[in-house]
Amino acid sequence: MACDKANPFENMKKQVDVVGKKLGLEPGVTEVMKNPKRELTVNFPVRMDDGSVRIFTGYRVQHNESRGPFKGGIRYHQQVDIDEVRALAAWMTWKTAVVDVPYGGAKGGIIANPKTMSVGEIERMTRRYATEISIIIGPEKDIPAPDVNTGGREMAWIMDTISMAKGFAVPGVVTGKPREIGGSLGRPEATSRGLVFAVREAAKKTGLDLKGATVAIQGYGNVGSFAHKLIERDFGSKVIAVTDSKGGIINENGLKYDEVIAHKKKTGSVVGFPGTKPVTNEEVLELEVDVLLPCALENVLTGENAGRVKAKMSGEGANGPNTLEADEILHKNGVLVLPDILANAGGVTVSYFEWVQNLYNYAWTEDEVNARLDQKITKAFHEVWDMAEKHKVNMREAAYMLAVDRVAKATQIRGFYP
């Protein structure tokens, strides 16, 4: 999947500079908002199945802890680099502040392509990485979670690795775990559910009837596929196109979630689903639909292609799918962008719920989890919408203004030690 070469960390810093001026922040406080507090790079050996030893490089970046412990996912991808992880860590800070959960932002990653590795190799890599970053993670310090190419399986391995070192079970060290070892009900669909809640509230504000509304989804992993399921089932929307890393499919009459996901599980891709025409990851962004859901990688909408977006609304299931130039173009063209730090904050919100349940050794029902998530996302959406109306800015600037203001206030209240 082609991505723009824009540096996501530099984009984030530019955004904070703009917002800092709008908020009237002291320049020194703005600098604190822009820079990570701590960065850890680890290079570690893993024994591969053929007996050889391979060195992997991993990162854990902790951006800001003014509002609470660090929180953020771990991704495995061959294109992971330090600036990407820095940007993702900062976005987690803003995301947790927008939905008002008591966390700061962090992110981790390993430069690896797990699709070319065996389960045993992935497990050994995961456990060694967990050991290497164990010096800075923990339930009271930094709580990792799944991200690109990781899930409950990897979180279980990390939890077990840390627990073995401690000598007792430490379920609160990660979130996104399987239910059997302390995971929360509702967590697997949480990011997608939060995204659909945000789209629902935006549709109410703009007068869009989601029943029968057309939808295109770029990225058919966990977030994109569950978004398909929920927006189809709960609102009667018609998903006409979906893509994954191997390509995509389109059918103007609609694609049924149950059928598409069954095909992907059987073949490994949505490509080749019967009764459809092919569509590329680039083309899907430019389809004439009511709702576009970019749920893949960052920087897929740029100054070059944003002007060709025909959707009325773009709900960002991915982190950082737009460059700053794309944002300006979309706003000018009347496309309502629901920014990532609001639209995909459902995952970290339910991760917070999972962490709380772990700390109290008390489990909530799935209905309780979903209802609390709805409350959080709905409240956050309206706070961002009101900020946008008040300051005459787009939704991303409004979300950043809300988030940076909350983090800056917490930073100033705590002061600078010593």
So which residues are the catalytic ones? Answer: 107
User: In sequence order, what are the beta bridge partners of 61?
Assistant: 39, 107
Percentage helix, strand, coil, to 5, in the chain?
50, 20, 35
Alpha-carbon span 341 to 338, nearest angstrom: 9
User: Concatenated DSSP letters for 296-307?
Assistant: S-SS-B-TTTGG
Contact indicator for 280, 248 with CB cutoff of 8 Å: yes
Q: What angle do CA 43, 45, 50 make, to 5 degrees?
A: 145
Alpha-carbon span 378 to 99, nearest angstrom: 9
Contact indicator for 33, 408 with CB cutoff of 8 Å: yes
Contact indicator for 298, 319 with CB cutoff of 8 Å: yes
Alpha-carbon span 185 to 371, nearest angstrom: 12
What token pair was written down for 352?
């917070």
Residue recorded with tokens 């998530």? 373
Residues near 374 by Cβ (< 8 Å), separated by ≥ 6?
Answer: 197
Contact indicator for 106, 94 with CB cutoff of 8 Å: no
Alpha-carbon span 385 to 390, nearest angstrom: 9
Alpha-carbon span 30 to 17, nearest angstrom: 7
Alpha-carbon span 130 to 214, nearest angstrom: 42
Bridge-based pairing state of the strands 70-77 and 142-146: parallel
